[in-house]
C-alpha cells in the first residue's frame, strides 16, 4: 500500500539543516545563487523552514504567507528564485536573504533593508570592453533572455528571440542599427525592436553604461 502523503513529500521525517543545505545548494547554483555568507543567519532561516516542513510537509518560504491555494503556494517553495527572478536580481538576494547572487562576496551587507524594488532596477550584465562595436551577445537578466547590441559606443537591449521561428537574435548578424536573424534573415532595428514583418516587433529594454559597466533596466513587475 502506498502512503500518498509520503510519496508527495520530498523530505523524510527528521530532516536536518545540513540535509536541506545539501539538497538546495545545487538548485541555487543552477539559478546563479549561493547560500548567504552569513552562516548563522542561514542556519536560522533553515531552522524555520524545518519547522514549516514539519507542519506542512514542504519547505515554504518563512517570510511569505501560505494562502491555502496550492497553485499560489507552490510559488513560495524554497528556493522561490525562479518565480521572483527580476525582483531578486535587483536585490542581489532572495527575499529572505538565504540565497545571494554568486557574485556577492559579503552577504551580511544585504541583510538590512529589504524592501522589494517597486521602481525599475538596473542589472549589471557585463563590462563595456566585453562587447566590441558592431557585435551582439546574449545575456540572462533575471528570468529574461536578452540580446545586447553595440553600435559604436551606443548599447541597445532587445528580447533575444525572433518572432518568426524563435531563433536567438544574439546569434544574428549586425549591420548598422539592424540585426539580421540567423535563421531566415528577418531584420530588426535594435533601437526600438521593430521589423517590417507584421506583428513581429520585439520588446526592448533601456541600457546604461556607468563607469565601464553595462546595465540593463528591468521593471520589477514586468
Partner 1 sequence: MTVKVFALSTCPYCRMTRKYLDENAVAYDVVEVDLLEGQARTDAIDEVKRLSGGSSFPVVIIGDEVIVGFNKKRIKELLGL
Among 63, 167, 174, 200, binds partner 1 (CB under 8 A): 63
Q: Which residue, 60 or 155, has its beta carbon nearer to partner 1? A: 60
65 binds partner 1 (CB under 8 A): yes
Q: In what order do the strands lie in the sheet with 121-127?
A: 121-127, 213-218, 207-210
Residue 55 CB neighbours (<10 A)? 10
Distance CA 107, CA 23 (A): 21
Distance CA 111, CA 168 (A): 37
Residues near partner 1 (CB under 8 A), total: 21
Report the half-sphere exposure of 206 (CA within 13 A, side-chain side).
Answer: 8
- Interface mask toward partner 1 for 118-157; x: CB under 8 A: x---------------------------------------
Binding region for partner 1 (CB under 8 A) out of 115-123, 126-134, 139-147, 149-157: 115-123
Binding region for partner 1 (CB under 8 A) out of 57-65, 124-132, 148-156, 162-170: 57-65
99 binds partner 1 (CB under 8 A): no
Cell output for 97 = 536573504
Distance CA 154, CA 209 (A): 9
Element (H, E) at 93: none
210 binds partner 1 (CB under 8 A): no
Question: What does the buried/exposed string (b/e) look like for 86-116 if buried means 16 or more CB atoms within 10 Å of the residue's CB?
Answer: bbbbbbbbbbbbbbbbeebeebeebeeeeee
Of residues 160 through 189, those in contact with partner 1 by CB under 8 A are: none
Binding region for partner 1 (CB under 8 A) out of 42-50, 140-148, 158-166, 171-179: 42-50
115 binds partner 1 (CB under 8 A): yes
Using DSSP's 3-state secondary structure scheme, residue 79 falls into: coil
Can you give the binding site for partner 1, defined by CB under 8 A? 41, 44-45, 48-49, 51-52, 62-67, 95-96, 112-116, 118
Amino acid at each position: 500500500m502506498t502512503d500518498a502523503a509520503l510519496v508527495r513529500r520530498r523530505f523524510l521525517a527528521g530532516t536536518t539543516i545540513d540535509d536541506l543545505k545539501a539538497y538546495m545548494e545545487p538548485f541555487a547554483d543552477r539559478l546563479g545563487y549561493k547560500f548567504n555568507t552569513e552562516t548563522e543567519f542561514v542556519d536560522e532561516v533553515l531552522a524555520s523552514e524545518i519547522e514549516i516542513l514539519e507542519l506542512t510537509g514542504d519547505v515554504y518560504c518563512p517570510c511569505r504567507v501560505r494562502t491555502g491555494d496550492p497553485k499560489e503556494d507552490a510559488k513560495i517553495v524554497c528556493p522561490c528564485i525562479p518565480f521572483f527572478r527580476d525582483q531578486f536580481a535587483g536585490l542581489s538576494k532572495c527575499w529572505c536573504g538565504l540565497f545571494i547572487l554568486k557574485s556577492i562576496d559579503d552577504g551580511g551587507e544585504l541583510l538590512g533593508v529589504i524592501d522589494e524594488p517597486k521602481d525599475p532596477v538596473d542589472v549589471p550584465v557585463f563590462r563595456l570592453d566585453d562587447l566590441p562595436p558592431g557585435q551582439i551577445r546574449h545575456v540572462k537578466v533575471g528570468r529574461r533572455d536578452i540580446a545586447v547590441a553595440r553600435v559604436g559606443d551606443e548599447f541597445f537591449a532587445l528580447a533575444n528571440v525572433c518572432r518568426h521561428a524563435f531563433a536567438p537574435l544574439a546569434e544574428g548578424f549586425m549591420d548598422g542599427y539592424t540585426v539580421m536573424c540567423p535563421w531566415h534573415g528577418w531584420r530588426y532595428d535594435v533601437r526600438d525592436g521593430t521589423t517590417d514583418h507584421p506583428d513581429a516587433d520585439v520588446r526592448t529594454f533601456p541600457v546604461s553604461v556607468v563607469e565601464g559597466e553595462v546595465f540593463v533596466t528591468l521593471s520589477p513587475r514586468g
